[in-house]
Structures are given as structure tokens and as C-alpha cells.
Structure 1
């Protein structure tokens, strides 16, 4: 697949993409049309205030996520997800019929009931939406597939919101809104019939209808893998952060920028475009792999541009408000605000797409849909908490720009907390930054690293950043066995220690610590994971291969895993190598973006992996390029 857009030509992705796009579009078309009608025609429907009705409608739509997400996750693990997608589309058509009756009979309870059912529709489709992707896409397509889904969802939300508002004000009778929704649901059903089958991972599962006990069980499944659970918390935080910004757009456009209704549309469109750009760039920046190094990058942008949005906002009311778009766009501060919004959206895409892909890849297959359901529950909970907190702060007199600033600072605190608990995110970020900001990394023979199962990666030791380069190249997480001197390095040593890297005095073949870490490395292999090490122990002082110490042999004697030789090329002579006696001696010695490569050879068996054979294999891979 040349790019993520190629997925749109495949029958295993396009029908599903169209189905989910039309579902998100329809939800927002009806929801916004109803809110607009209740806002401007509240007196003809009820005696409640328009503001109360708008918040009531939002609460009714999100309530099913709390009540039925656990059941939806069970159904998606028990039944074919393609079949469920079609049934959800049938339900959507029935819901639009209920909405039509509500408009025709001028019945607010029927319309609110239809809105509740639409929330049920989204709740049921949520686990299907994300759990089906790993079944239909290859692992190197997951980032691109998730990027298209996220970009498509936000575009559908934007178009649906705008269309709903336009229909509410343009049609002679609101029943035509439901008629349009019924047509969209029917087209969505037709597209769902093209979704390939997605067999259930747990067909024997007995569905527990109790939402409370099952919600806790789903959260327990998610917590089995610490990285998955913290990724879900990160996704939920993003939805809180994004929903907080989106909710303020109407008041921000009117009271801060001094604009009219068209200004709200502009802000929403710019934010959506940013998320779409960021999501679609993820595949290119990550090299078609689940690159969690983009997550810290995304969180940095969310904080910086959130703060700049607060600083760029006008301090007081605009004279002559409401201003037309032309007058607003004639001001430099407006362009700065729009740039901030598009960048917040873009870095949000960098943040959320790898997290969704990580949850899909590292979740247990038999529980994946229920873990996605737990994610949906926590997403809804975080958004509600964020809305309550924002309302309380604004009610206490805080301005909207200050609210943006507080949210940006909180984002930094949350990010640092998560990365402190899982240093893998920061290590991957450093690795990604290194191979994109300081070097240009070429990977050759990467297919020799097995997709699953244990293996020992053996490499020459050229510089202080060899660990990061291997980490950036490997398609799977790697646990490193390193000389204890590595752990004395500032920052990197602390991150390595917290990430589970194994340290010992590798220079002494008979030390008790070496025997202990070899046993620990063997246990890591027994669990089906990768272990990487440098038999030279320390990075080369002259650019040539040093003797290989017998570190590998005792490990593979315990667990006879394949041993994969690798060679780094081009790092010798760089800032991080020991050229001229010491590393870190001359910054920009070889400039920025110098070419380096990692060459990976065919695996050797445990019996073949003697120090001499491994050294020769690495020497052959490296060639004359140091």
C-alpha cells in the first residue's frame, strides 16, 4: 500500500469508512438541527428555557455511553462485527422514523427519545468501529487506517453540524430533517453490506446485561496492560480537552472576538481541518508503524498553542461588534488565533491517532471490543467532568481565554504524569526526534525481526545513541541489556532504568550481576519479547569492531530463541561517537540530517550464535561503512 489513501480503494476498508462517516454525519445532523430548533423556537415546544434544553439534549445524547457501552463491547466480542454494523444501520433508520413522527406530531418527548436512541446507536457502533480495524488491516496499515477514521469522523461532525443548522432554518417543516436523516441512514446501510466478515474472538461469551458490574469488568480488562490503560486515559483526556475548546466556540466568537454566527462556523472548520491534517500526517511521520513517540510531540503542541491562543485573544470587548468575517480577517490577531486553532487540531491528531492504534495492537484479541467499550465510557466521563469543571470556572468569573490557558497547563501536567509512569513514551519520542531531527535513518532487512515471538538482537556499539536508533528502527518494543555505565548518563539513564532496561557489569563474565541479568533476559524471551544487547559492551573508541564477549550464549542456552545480527552504519564520527577520544565533543560535527543506516541480517539459531560467528555476521553487515 503506497499510502493510507490507497486503503480507500480496498473493499476491506472503503465500505466500513463510508458507513462510519455517514453515521457520524447523521448523529450531528439531527442533534444540531434539534438544538437549533429548540434554541430559536423553544416557546412553541416547551416552557423550558432554551439554554436548559440545549444542555438537556447534550446530556441525553451522551447518557447511553454510560448505560450501554459495556453491553456493546460484549456484543462486538461475541458476534461478527460486520453483521453488527448492518444491524446498527437498520436501527438508525428506525430511529429516523421515530424522529419524523416526533416532528410531525410536534412532540418534544418523541424527539428527545430519538436523540437518546441515536446515542444508543453511537454507543453500539463504537466498539465495532475500532475493534474491526485490526481484523481487516495489516499492522503497517493500522496507523493510516486510524488516521483516515479520525479525520473522517471530525469532517463528518463538521459537515453534519453545519447541515443540521442549515436544514433547521431552511426547510418549511422540520419533518424534512428526519427525512434527510432517513436517506443518509439508508445509504449507510447499503455501504455496510460491503463490509467483509469479521469473525468474533469470543463467540462463547455470555452477555452480562448489568452495566455496572460489566463496566468494572471491562475496565479491569483494560488495566491488565498498564500501557493500554494509560493510553485510554490519554485518549479520554484528549476528548475532554477538545470538547472543552469546542464548547466555548459560540461564546468565544461572540463575546471575545466580537463576531457573528459565521465566526463560529469558521472556528469549527479550522479546528476540524487541523485535526484532519494532523491525523493524516501521522502515517508519514511514523513510517506506517505504531509510533508512540508522536504522542509526547502532540502533547507539547497542544500545550504551547493552547497557551498562545489564550495570549492572542483580545483582552476586552471588540468595538463595533458583531463584526463580519471580512473585518475580523482584516486583523492580525485573528490570523494568529486561526493558526493556533489549526495547530491545536494538528497536534491533537499526532496525539490521538497513535494512542488508538496502540490500544488496538496491545489489547488482548479476545477482549479488544470490551476494552474499546471501556475507553468509550471513560471518554464520556472525562467529557462530562470537563464540561462541569469549565462551567464552574466560567461561573466563578473566569474568562474564556483564561480557561484555555488553564486547560493547556493541565494538559502539560497530565502528559508529564503519564510519561512519568510509562517512560517508553518519552524514550520513543527521543528516538523519533533523533532519527528525524539529527539523522536520516535507512532501515534494511527490517523483515528479519519477527512480527511476534522471542528473539535476541545483537548489534555493534558505535555511539551513545545506539539504543535510541535501534528503538526507532524496531517495529516492536525492545528490552535492552546494557552495561551499567549507561545508567549513569543524565536523563537517558533514568529513562532506561524506568523503562525496564537491564543493567549489569558486562565487562566481568563471572560477576553475579551478569548471571542475574542473563536470567532476567531469558525470562523476557520466555514471555515472547525482544531483547537487544551490544556484545562489545561499550561503544567503540576507533570505529572498528571490538571483540564480542560471550554474553548471548548463556541466555539462549536457557531459552533457545533466534539471534538476529544487526549493524549500525554512519554513526562513527558523529557528535555522539568517541571520535578523537571522547563523545559529545564537537556539536554539528557532521551537520544535521546526516545519513545513517541499520542493516539487519538473517537470524541465527541458538547453537550458531557463538561470539565469533556473531562478530563475523555483524562485520559482514556493516562492511566498510562505520
Structure 2
């Protein structure tokens, strides 16, 4: 089954060495960063510590602005596995300098190391997501991205906790704390280098690329390229917005746990664990909920959940009272604590559902010659939005004197506004959500033989026509986008019209009713096939009124004479008698009586255009459908 792919990948050389490499790198960054910030907090007065910690955060993120554009170009020009090995060698050198910084207690040297770690991350970022489509099949992209997102957040949390604990031991007067931190980061860097040597080669898509060292010019160029495909451009905005939300929660949760609830480090760790575990669960759930395909319908679902979770967290958090006893047991037993943890986890879960399909879609739809550079621009935007997150925190929490729960409410409502804006600009997200909801509520859709549909190139699907939602169920089952050729009155049905128009359906009616529209439809069909589209036609020309398969009209033969392409016969089983079919009268005239009913989508072997006569195709579809109407 497709949903097992993400776990099978962990046993594959195509994925496991890369997964471990990125996990160890993220873990190492956060061990050093958290250790440094805790040490600064204990070494200096509060005002000096706050200023230096803010400087440290800025130095870590600065390289993303300065070098991501160059990093993206290098990832498109050179073998990515070679670049990874060189980056991991540099990490060993940085770790050695980091040990000297920690042992000597030099803040300036520590800040330099933090800048170098940010620089390394900036160069690794474009490779991290651009290498996945080269080593994974399209059906594995969602699972691969899910594991990477899960691993990243677990590494961030684990590194933060380990760095905090070890630095705390050092600040307590135990020299072994700094020694353990130094030894650990060197050991992890060495392990990362050894593991990365097993990453298979990833040939550069544009070896002749001329490097432009001007980050502003290169970033602007790539943003213009991304804007040519609105779905990619607004997905970049959506991803960056998620990092703004994540930065806001991860930044304020420690302060909320210590200063509002009066808790200690274990309580803060528990709160961060809830969020991180949620992200891991949501990321891994994407594979099962999407059936291994890049399901954009999960993105609006995730956005709605993020807004709900943020509002609930604000209300619950605003009613929590400071602890009278500083312990995890006291917090767990306090009113509202378990609900707060649950909704913190829910934010993470919906965040995983939101972010994984967006990354997978960018990887899949971006021209492979531009992929790493577009991802580099995504990283720049991520960094920019995280800076905006810090500014928003400063404005609302310091200047406007909002409480942290009130700030959670603000960003939750802002999330709703951003989601409406993005989904309005790219209606495909809303369309895919409607399709996903239909195929996961009213029907249990089973697939058979869909692997026989070509993954690329022009082709036509012919299928029986049983209900008003046939096109939606086919679109939800087939991995490739389908352009439907459909009877014009069905195309114009309210609500469905929005979906069909967004999916670039081609309306058609009889030549007698609209000769001009009839010919225009055939021109559009011919052009679509020349562009390599996958089209679908219901050759009966109308919904069945008795459940039987009607005669196929000659329009399919006319299409194939003008543009000979392979034809895939398909059949829908189990829809006759549903709310959307004409059984016992017209559709929609009675209340729905069937929910979660079994429906099958079955595909047969492709036929050559020369053999695809209307009657032959009807026999093929009838055989696939069988007795199950």
C-alpha cells in the first residue's frame, strides 16, 4: 500500500543516509545554539544577556539572506551529494572552533561559530529539498517530505533539550558540562560526515550555469520565475507563513511556561514536546490521508486547524493560573492544563498537514533546472517571515502590552486572513479540499489498475457516466491532473462549476444546439492533447437514467482522428443509487441515504488510437464495470 512507503524509505539507501545527515545536522545546530544562549543568560546581567541572545538569533539567520541565493545556484550546478560531503566537512571544522569557544567562554568567538552554523545551514537548505525529487519517485515525495519534516522538528527539540541540560550543568560550576557539549558536537559532526558519504549521486540539472553572486538580483529573478506559476509562488508564501507561526509559538512557549505559569525547564520541555510531537504526527499522517499522492486538499484543512488551534490555545491559556507548586504533576493536575497540551499538539498536527503537501508540490511542479534556486528563495522568504514574527512579538507583547495568550489569538486570526488570501489566489487548494472531503466522507473509494495510466504525455480516459460527482471521484483517484470534457449543463452547476473551471474542464454540447461552441471545444481538446494533457470524456454524453451503460457517441473517434493518442478505458462501480445519481427520479431530489459506501475506480489497459472505436471502447468499459452499477 502507498501509505507504507514513508517507512519503507528508512530502509532504502536512496533516503536513509540523507535523512540521518539532515537530522544530525539540525540536532547539532540546536545543541550549540541552545547551549550558547543558556550560558549567555547565566554569565551576564539580564539586560546584557537579552541583547546578546537577540544578536545571536540574528547572526544565525543572517546567512540565509546573504547566501541562500548563491547556495541554490551551486545546488543546480554541482552534484548535490558532493556538496553535502563538503558542507559536512566544514561542520567538523566549525565544531572544533565551537569547542574552543565554549571552553574559553569567549562570547565573541561563540557568536562567530553561530554565524558559521547558520552559513552551513543556508548552503544545505536548497540541497535538502531539491535532492528528494531526484532520489524518490513521485509517489514517495509526500512520505519523504513527511519524514524530513518530522525529523527536523524532533532534531530541533532534541538538540534544544540536550544543549540546555548540558549547559545548565556547566553553569552550575561543573566543567564537565562544557566538555560534554564540545565532545558531543564534534562526535555528531563526524557521524554526519560518515553517514553522508553513503548518499547516492544526484547529477546537477544545469552544470553550465553561470553563478550570480548578487543575492538581491538573483532572489528577484527567482521570485519572478516562481510567480509565473501562481500555485508555486503562493505555496512559497504559505510555507513562509507557517515558519512565522512556528517561530511565534516556539519563541513564546518558554516564556509562557516560566513567566506566566511559574514553571521550570521540565515544564517548558513538556510544552515544546507537545508541539513537536504534533508536527511529527501530522507530517506522517499526510501519507495515509493522501494515499501517497500530493494532496493539496490537506492544505486548507491544515490552515483551518491552525486557526482553530490558535484561538483555542489563546482562550485556554488565558484562563490558566500560575502554579502553586513547581512540578510537572502540579501542572498536569491543574484546571485546563491537559486541554492546553492537547491543543498545542493539535497546532502541530495541523501544521504538519499544512506544510508537507506544499513542499512536495513545489518540488514536483518546479522545473528541475530551477528547483534548487526556487527552494533557496523559499528559504530566504522563510527567514524573512521569521524576522517578521520576532517584530510582531515585539510590537504586540512589548509596545502594545498584549499577554502571550492574546498574541496567540492575534496570529491565529492573521492565519485565517492569510489562508483566505492564498486560497482565493489559487482556487486549486479549495477545489482539491472539496474533492478530498467527498472521497473521504460519502464514499470509500477503492482503486484498481490505475498504474496503467501513463505518468506523462497526452492520453484520453473514457468512462461510464453514473452521477454528478463522477469527475470529482476520478480526479481524486488519479495521480495526474485530469482535464474533463463534460456536458455543458453539468459544467454550469453551481459550486461544481467552480471546481470544474478551476480544473480547466472543457464544456461541450451537441452540434445542433451550439455549433460554434461545439467546434471551439474540439479545438481546445486538440490543443490540450498537443500540450501533453490527460483528458477524460464520458462518451455516453449524459448521465445514465436506468443504471445501464448507454451507447458511446462518435465524438471520441473524431478527437482521435484529429489527435491520435492512447485511450484508457475506465469504469466507476457502486455509484448507481447514490444521492447524485438519477435512480428513482432525478438526482438531488431525496435526502442522502448512503454514507461511507464502497465505490470502485477501475482502469484497463491503454488502447492505441487506431483500435479505439466507440463500440470497442464501450465493450471495454462494460467489462471493467461488470454487474456492479
Report the TM-score range of the alignment, normalised by the length of the smaller protein.
Answer: over 0.9
Q: What residue number does 2:154 align with?
A: 155
Q: Contact conserved, 1:275 with 1:342, CA < 8 A, in 2?
A: yes
| 517-526 vs 150-159, greater mean Cα deviation | 517-526
Q: What residue number does 1:28 align with?
A: 30
| 427-436 vs 152-161, greater mean Cα deviation | 427-436
Q: CA 1:323 to 1:537, structure 2 compared with 1: closer, same or farther past 3 Å?
A: farther
1:438 pairs with 430, 435, 442, which one? 442
1:598 pairs with 2:601? yes
Q: CA 1:507 to 1:459, structure 2 compared with 1: closer, same or farther past 3 Å?
A: farther
Q: What residue number does 1:418 align with?
A: 422
SS at match of 2:318: coil
Shift, 1:321, TM fit? 4.6
Cα offsets for 1:457-498 (capped at 9, x unmatched): 111111111111001111111122222212332222123223
Q: CA 1:242 to 1:10, structure 2 compared with 1: closer, same or farther past 3 Å?
A: same
Q: What residue number does 1:75 align with?
A: 74
Cα offsets for 1:149-172 (capped at 9, x unmatched): 110111000000001101111143
Q: CA 1:506 to 1:384, structure 2 compared with 1: closer, same or farther past 3 Å?
A: farther
Shift, 1:510, TM fit? 6.3
2:316 pairs with 296, 312, 318, which one? 312
Q: What residue number does 1:345 align with?
A: 348
Shift, 1:508, TM fit? 4.2
**Aligned-partner Cα distance in 2 for 1:113–1:278:** 36
| 259-268 vs 368-377, greater mean Cα deviation | 259-268
Q: What residue number does 1:40 align with?
A: 42
| 550-559 vs 142-151, greater mean Cα deviation | 550-559
SS at match of 2:198: coil
Shift, 1:291, TM fit? 1.4
**Aligned-partner Cα distance in 2 for 1:30–1:469:** 50
**Aligned-partner Cα distance in 2 for 1:397–1:475:** 50
**Aligned-partner Cα distance in 2 for 1:509–1:446:** 36
1:303 pairs with 2:303? no
Q: What residue number does 1:355 align with?
A: 358
Q: What is the correspondence of 1:41-440 to structure 2 with a 5 Å cutoff?
A: 41-43=43-45, 49-171=48-170, 172-173=174-175, 174=178, 176-315=180-319, 318-319=321-322, 321=324, 323-395=326-398, 396-440=400-444
Shift, 1:80, TM fit? 0.8
Q: CA 1:290 to 1:320, structure 2 compared with 1: closer, same or farther past 3 Å?
A: closer
Q: CA 1:506 to 1:472, structure 2 compared with 1: closer, same or farther past 3 Å?
A: farther
| 458-467 vs 536-545, greater mean Cα deviation | 536-545
**Aligned-partner Cα distance in 1 for 2:441–2:389:** 36
Q: Contact conserved, 1:73 with 1:127, CA < 8 A, in 2?
A: yes
Q: What residue number does 2:458 align with?
A: 454
Coordinate RMSD, CA, aligned: 1.8
1:18 pairs with 2:20? yes
Shift, 1:315, TM fit? 3.7
1:495 pairs with 2:499? yes
Cα offsets for 1:120-152 (capped at 9, x unmatched): 111111111111111111111111111111101
Q: Contact conserved, 1:249 with 1:264, CA < 8 A, in 2?
A: yes
Task: Return 5+ residue gaps in structure 2 as ranges.
Answer: none
Cα offsets for 1:525-564 (capped at 9, x unmatched): 2111211222223221111122322332333333322121
**Aligned-partner Cα distance in 1 for 2:322–2:426:** 49
Q: CA 1:459 to 1:490, structure 2 compared with 1: closer, same or farther past 3 Å?
A: same
SS at match of 1:369: helix
Shift, 1:507, TM fit? 6.8
Cα offsets for 1:550-609 (capped at 9, x unmatched): 33233333332212111100000011111111112333423x211110111112222333
SS at match of 1:58: helix
Q: Contact conserved, 1:482 with 1:506, CA < 8 A, in 2?
A: no
**Aligned-partner Cα distance in 1 for 2:554–2:53:** 70
Q: Contact conserved, 1:65 with 1:380, CA < 8 A, in 2?
A: yes
**Aligned-partner Cα distance in 2 for 1:54–1:125:** 24
Q: Contact conserved, 2:263 with 2:323, CA < 8 A, in 1?
A: no
Q: Contact conserved, 1:423 with 1:499, CA < 8 A, in 2?
A: no
**Aligned-partner Cα distance in 1 for 2:592–2:184:** 61
**Aligned-partner Cα distance in 2 for 1:557–1:321:** 81
**Aligned-partner Cα distance in 2 for 1:127–1:105:** 34
Shift, 1:195, TM fit? 0.7
Q: CA 1:29 to 1:508, structure 2 compared with 1: closer, same or farther past 3 Å?
A: farther
| 432-441 vs 25-34, greater mean Cα deviation | 432-441
Q: What residue number does 2:589 align with?
A: 585
**Aligned-partner Cα distance in 2 for 1:508–1:228:** 42
TM-score, with structure 1 as normaliser: 0.96
Q: Contact conserved, 2:313 with 2:343, CA < 8 A, in 1?
A: yes
SS at match of 1:503: strand
**Aligned-partner Cα distance in 1 for 2:525–2:420:** 29
